[in-house]
Amino acid sequence: MKIAVIALGGNALQPSNEKWTYEGLERNINKTVLHLAPLFAKYKVVITHGNGPEVGNLLIQQHSTKEVPEMPLDVCDAMTQGQLGYLLQRSIRNNLKKKAITVVTQVEVDKNDRAFKNPTKPIGPFYKEKIEKQMIKQKAGWRKVVPSPKPKRIIEIEEIKSLIKKGYTVIACGGGGIPVVNGKGVESVIDKDYSTQLLASQLKADLLIFLTDTDYVYFNYGTKNAVPIARIKPKEMSKVLVSFPEEFKEGSMRPKIEASLKFLSKGKKVIITKPELLGKALKEKAGTMIK
């Protein structure tokens, strides 16, 4: 069977307009997993996921008391990989009757990556005042910022390949993976979309899917003149990305599109859509397809 790698955005598991509870997280994961059912009929499935809301909540819990020592960010990444991986694999087994397993995944980054000299990725809760050196001011308050280096190598790639061959649905690279340099975790986060592309490329996957909170990629997104992009060729998408940089900014669609273009080659395709539209998107009746 062919291989499909599917990235679940953080909002697919915990919508931003929803108060965090365990019951809500469990419900959202079950709903999302059921939307994946059509994929299992034609592909071996590998799943990645975001962890932004969950790691943010974990950092709030850590900051709420001094009686228990705080864990570094790489350990928090590992904790949320286990948390979400457990719930996803349980849901896949219970709802889809498929074998599933979570790989707590380390991803090597370059110690000389420029991101380490220019931390820009906001994480964790908002504060009323600046309490650390590396913080930025946003509308809701101050937030800690950390480097976001590009992924170079997935350390557990051979283990992932072996589990796929044994018939498992593998959940890997959660939250972009745990960033490591020379075998040690580092205080940074890796963009999930770039890690997903690296994983899909190393697995020689046939299909890459980004499930997010919008049904299509749009021109003029968020305006009354928004135009959905249903089908587009990689060369055309590349030209659009260069010609209209303000349309696709960092922190929105740009990482997904850049990751898609890096993944695509002959015979491969990318789908970007909402979880509930995946079935239609596989039939080319919804979502954005790049191929």
What integer is the mean pLDDT of 230-253? Answer: 86
Based on the residue annotation, tell me whether 283 is a catalytic residue of this protein.
Answer: no
- Comparing C-alpha atoms, which of 177, 274, 270, 189 is closest to residue 231? 270
Please tell me which residue in 44, 50, 56, 121 is annotated as part of the active site.
121
Based on the residue annotation, tell me whether 279 is a catalytic residue of this protein.
Answer: no
Based on the residue annotation, tell me whether 10 is a catalytic residue of this protein.
Answer: yes
Based on the residue annotation, tell me whether 11 is a catalytic residue of this protein.
Answer: yes
Confidence of residue 114 (pLDDT cuts 50, 70, 90): very high
Confidence of residue 281 (pLDDT cuts 50, 70, 90): very high
Confidence of residue 129 (pLDDT cuts 50, 70, 90): confident
Per-domain residue ranges for the chain? 2-213
Q: How would you list the strands of the sheet with 141-146, edge to edge? A: 121-127, 141-146, 135-138
Render pLDDT for 29-38 as a digit per residue (tens, 0 to 9).
999 999 999 9
Q: Per the structure block, which two tokens stand in for 226? A: 């928004």
In this predicted structure, which of 93-97, 135-139, 187-191, 245-249 has the lowest mean pLDDT? 245-249
Render pLDDT for 134-164 as a digit per residue (tens, 0 to 9).
888 888 899 888 999 999 999 999 999 999 9
Query: Which is more confidently placed, 272 or 15?
Result: 272
Please tell me which residue in 9, 10, 56, 124 is annotated as part of the active site.
10
Confidence of residue 251 (pLDDT cuts 50, 70, 90): low
Exposure of 11 in the CB half-sphere (CA atoms within 13 A): 11
In this predicted structure, which of 87-96, 112-121, 126-135, 159-168 has the lowest mean pLDDT? 126-135
- Comparing C-alpha atoms, which of 158, 116, 124, 151 is closest to residue 140? 124
Average pLDDT of the chain, as a whole number? 92
Proportion of the chain above pLDDT 70, given as a percent: 99
Quick one: CATH architecture of 2-213?
3-Layer(aba) Sandwich (3.40)
d(CA 203, CA 88): 21
What integer is the mean pLDDT of 261-286? Answer: 95
Based on the residue annotation, tell me whether 24 is a catalytic residue of this protein.
Answer: no
d(CA 82, CA 80): 5
What integer is the mean pLDDT of 24-31? Answer: 94
Helix (H) or strand (E) holding 6: strand 2-8
291 in helix, strand or coil? coil
